[in-house]
Amino acid sequence: MPDKILVTVHHRTKYKRQTGPADLFPVYLQVYWNQRLTGRKLKRLYPINANLSGVPGFEGYLSREDFKKSFLAKNPRGENNRLKSQIIKELSRAIDIVDKLQHFSYESFEQSYYREQDVADGLETYFLKYASRLRELDKIKTAKGYISSLNKLKEYAKFARLGSLNFSDVDQTFLEGFEHWYLNKSPQALAGRASINTVSIYLRNLRTIFNQAIDDGEISADLYPFGRKRRNRYKIPSSVNVKRSLSKAQVKQLYEVETKNDFEERAKVLWFLSFALQGINFKDLAELKKKNYTGQEIRFTRKKTLSTSRDAQEILIPVTNFAAKIIERAINLQPNGTDYLFPIYREPLNPEQKENRRRNIIKNVNDNLIKLCTRANIPFKVTTYYARHSYASIAKNDHVPTEVIKQSLGHTSVKTTENYLKNLPDQVMKDYADKIQSFLN
């Protein structure tokens, strides 16, 4: 027979607290080890970590009455229920460690238990480390997104009176509570600006942190809280697709509206550059240099795929007659003495400065697009993002094959499609681009 290991919760009422109220007694995990070969019966106590309790004011000690109302109660309420849940979670974690050890010893148990405990206190630290790693890869905007997610999760933890934010705190109940809070009680909800899409973004970032920590061997996969609800896991809500494209008629209305100043002219030119260059995103547009443009085509590697794929795909954009006109207007807005093709970057900038410059330009462009769309009788707020979606939508309505659209946009998610598209002649892409933009000539 194998050795018998038993883990229980023990309220050690024989030992009073040395300082503070005299009626408080320590709460421990008690690990019994019945050794089959030696016949020895051993016992060790491990204090419940105060930081894992999730209950403000709990420091690993409880009175007899509070222990009875919380852990021993069948249906505790309020703070007592929260305290019982946290103690049970800690008990379950210890039992899982025991079950996974092929050969039990107190030393091996303690190594796993305290290692997980240290990391369990480190969700915020891990968020910050991951954001720092992203910054080292020049992914400044993504890094800021993770910090934003962390701050919003901390805001909810404070609202829920959880104290510090730990890996072990994040379970299905926590995540469902966060979703409800953000959509109904957060400052964004009270201002009418909360959306399920934002919840999805925040929690996808949190899921990435969990996956990264598990891959790094920092936490147990048992702490992973995401999945199907029927498995006591939380399912991240799907984003709601919002229409972000213009019809051919609306694109033409925007193109024909007169600009009143240099800011409006730059906004209009940059929007139509993105549209005419097959929906190129703003970051790639900003990074284009004069060497990328031959007069007949533009060649570049997407910044997104450059950092995520070992075999980043080169994008070739054929320059149509319409695109050539817009490019010429854009070049006229860019001062001499810079290698950059379009009026976004000028002097050499570090990644942080580029991100700030790009964000400011996008805000200015979007503000001026509102004015242009108002005069063009387009009844909603158009942003830079609409150019990419409008290109894809018009191409689809013109019966351009989906495979061609994917190549135009630089998508790389479908491997078989990529392999097929590598053989499409450049002239085929040029003919389709001419077809999509013909209504503007």
3-state secondary structure of 45: strand
Assess contact for 234 and 226: CB atoms under 8 A: yes
Q: What CATH topology corresponds to 248-440?
A: hpI Integrase; Chain A (1.10.443)
Give residue-wise pLDDT tens across range 423-436. Answer: 444 565 666 667 66
Alpha carbon distances (Å) from 40 to 35, 36, 43, 210: 5, 8, 10, 40
- Same CATH fold assignment for domains 123-231 and 248-440: no
Q: Which of the pair, 216 or 379, is modelled with greater confidence?
A: 379
Q: Cα–Cα distance between 313 and 305 in angstroms, integer?
A: 7
Sign of the Cα torsion 258, 264, 267, 270 reads: positive
Give residue-wise pLDDT tens across range 272-317. Answer: 999 999 888 898 999 999 999 998 999 988 765 555 445 556 788 8
Using pLDDT thresholds of 50, 70 and 90, give the confidence band for residue 150: very high
Which pLDDT value is given to residue 53? Answer: 44
Give the residue extent of every domain in the chain.
4-120, 123-231, 248-440
Q: Cα–Cα distance between 52 and 50 in angstroms, integer?
A: 5
Question: What DSSP designation does 162 have?
Answer: -
State the architecture of 123-231 in CATH terms.
Orthogonal Bundle (1.10)
Query: Which of 232, 250, 231, 88 lies closest to 168, judged by CA?
Result: 88
Which pLDDT value is given to residue 128? Answer: 86
Which pLDDT value is given to residue 417? Answer: 31
- Average pLDDT, stretch 32-50? 81
Token duo for residue 148 = 């934003």
Q: Which of 22-31, 75-84, 94-103, 404-413 has the lowest mean pLDDT?
A: 404-413
Residues facing residue 293 across a β-bridge: 298
pLDDT score of 258 more than 50: yes
Residues facing residue 343 across a β-bridge: 345
DSSP per-residue codes, 55-120 = STT--SEE-HHHHHHTTS-SS--HHHHHHHHHHHHHHHHHHHHHHH-SS--HHHHHHHHHHHHHHH
